[in-house]
């Protein structure tokens, strides 16, 4: 299988749980192709079906309809032994790390190798190599309780990679970590993707995680994929309500009306950044070029690959000719805006 082929394909996949109070449909008609060597993000609100999706990918949960195709083979057609082998090719990490408290770091990482029947010496060597890769070679004799959250997640990553999987499934792997540690773990995932060629699937409810490392994103909402595609496309032009909500926050400027419009009678304009420009230069260039300071009343913009996406509301100056100058500047520079009142 070459880089760029689909390593995983979900085809009309569904999952319903049968409970005493009736069926719960966790996933319905999921179609998603994940490219070998990519970092695929899956984002959605709590209860959307993200964890179920990731557990169906490695057949920890068996879908109730449709297929999971891994490296061209439908997991549903494989024997139990073959499914176990496929699963060994998909490492997994979790929000709560799930380390074995009674084992030191070295023995946490050798654990999956023991299960796979790898020779002890070889298992130790592989574990040492991985613990070095995640920067914990000096802590191998420590126990999980002696580590910080970020360090625990590094051990979990080393353990997940022990059997040399082709895919790493990450279910909210940074949700229990502070922002700085999150960045370090995301950098590590990126490095694993680039240097080891591991396909990484990142489940998260945080847009910032998707922005930081993913190539593609699927937005999952109420058991369905609402939209999916390359991160830059989805971010620049979210097509669904949930997409706009997740990407722009509560991007509807109307909700900010009481704060924005509470004072002053000046006209306002809403500037829309559609991913073609960087917003910092626009506002500062405009101020310099027009020699008119503007008042930014509301901004909800994000940088995606160095380009701005989102919207900003600025207050136009009192003097009509100054206001016209600003509007003229925006038009000349192909910046989308509309007057609001």
- Summarize as ranges the residues that interact with ligand ATP (CB under 6 A): 17, 19, 24, 26, 44, 46-52, 205
Instruction: Calculate helix-pair angle for 105-115, 120-133, nearest 10 degrees.
Output: 130
Q: Cα(316)–Cα(63) distance, rounded to whole angstroms?
A: 56
Neighbours of 3 (CB within 10 A): 11
Minimum distance between the CB of residue 191 and Mg ion, rounded to whole angstroms?
A: 25
Cα Dmax for the chain? 80
User: Which of ligand ATP, Mg ion, none sits in contact with 47, Cβ below 5 to 8 A by type?
Assistant: ligand ATP
- Span near Mg ion by CB under 5 A; candidates 16-24, 45-53, 69-77, 288-296: 45-53
Q: Nearer to ligand ATP by C-beta: 19 or 332?
A: 19
* 51 touches Mg ion by CB under 5 A: yes
215 token code pair: 């190539």
Residue 102 interacting entry, from ligand ATP, Mg ion, none, C-beta within 5 to 8 Å by type = none
**Least separation, in Å, of the C-beta of 212 and ligand ATP?**
19
Torsion of Cα atoms, 296 then 301 then 302 then 303, to 10°: -60
Residue among 51 and 110 whose Cβ is closer to Mg ion = 51
Q: Is the dihedral of CA 99, 101, 103, 106 positive or negative?
A: positive
Q: How many CB atoms lie within 10 A of CB 241?
A: 10
Between 50 and 126, whose beta carbon lies closer to Mg ion? 50
Piece of the chain touching Mg ion by CB under 5 A; list 14-22, 44-52, 143-151, 189-197: 44-52
User: Do residues 95 and 175 lie in contact, with contact meaning Cβ atoms separated by under 8 Å?
Assistant: yes
Determine the size of the site formed for Mg ion (CB under 5 A).
2
Would you give the binding string for Mg ion spanning residues 82-121, x where CB under 5 A is met?
A: ----------------------------------------
| The entry of ligand ATP, Mg ion, none that residue 244 binds, CB within 5 to 8 Å by partner kind | none
Angle, alpha carbons 138-107-94 (nearest 5°): 90
Can you tell me whether residue 305 is helix, strand or coil? coil
Q: Binding residues for Mg ion, per CB under 5 A?
A: 50-51
């Amino acid at each position: 299988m070459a880089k760029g082929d689909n390593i995983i394909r979900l085809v009309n996949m569904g999952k319903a749980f049968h409970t005493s109070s009736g069926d719960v449909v966790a996933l319905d008609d999921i179609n998603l192709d994940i490219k070998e060597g990519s970092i695929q993000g899956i984002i959605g609100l709590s209860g959307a079906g993200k964890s179920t999706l990731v557990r169906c990918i490695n057949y920890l949960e068996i879908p109730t309809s449709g297929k999971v195709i891994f490296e061209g083979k439908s997991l549903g057609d494989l024997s139990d032994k073959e499914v176990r082998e496929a699963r060994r090719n998909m490492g997994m990490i979790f929000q709560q790390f799930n380390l074995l408290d009674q084992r030191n770091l070295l023995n946490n990482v050798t654990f999956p190798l023991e299960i796979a029947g790898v020779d002890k010496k070889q298992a130790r060597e592989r574990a040492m190599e991985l613990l070095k890769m995640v920067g914990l070679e000096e802590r191998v004799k420590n126990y999980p309780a002696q580590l910080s959250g970020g360090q625990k997640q590094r051990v979990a990553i080393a353990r997940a990679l022990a059997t040399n999987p082709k895919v790493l499934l990450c279910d909210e792997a940074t949700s229990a970590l502070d922002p700085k540690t999150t960045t370090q773990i995301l950098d590590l995932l990126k490095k694993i993707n680039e240097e080891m060629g591991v396909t990484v699937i990142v489940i998260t409810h945080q847009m910032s995680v998707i922005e930081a490392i993913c190539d593609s994103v699927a937005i999952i909402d109420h058991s369905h994929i609402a939209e999916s595609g390359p991160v830059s496309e989805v971010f620049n032009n979210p097509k669904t309500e949930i997409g706009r909500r997740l990407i722009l926050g509560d991007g509807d400027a109307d909700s900010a009306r009481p704060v924005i419009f509470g004072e002053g009678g000046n006209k306002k304009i809403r500037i829309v950044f559609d991913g073609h420009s960087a917003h910092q230069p626009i506002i500062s260039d405009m101020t310099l070029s027009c020699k008119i300071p503007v008042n930014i009343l509301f901004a909800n913009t994000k940088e995606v690959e160095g380009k701005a996406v989102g919207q900003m509301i600025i207050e136009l100056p009192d003097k009509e000719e100054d206001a016209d100058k600003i509007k003229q500047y925006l038009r000349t520079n192909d910046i989308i805006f509309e007057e609001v009142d």
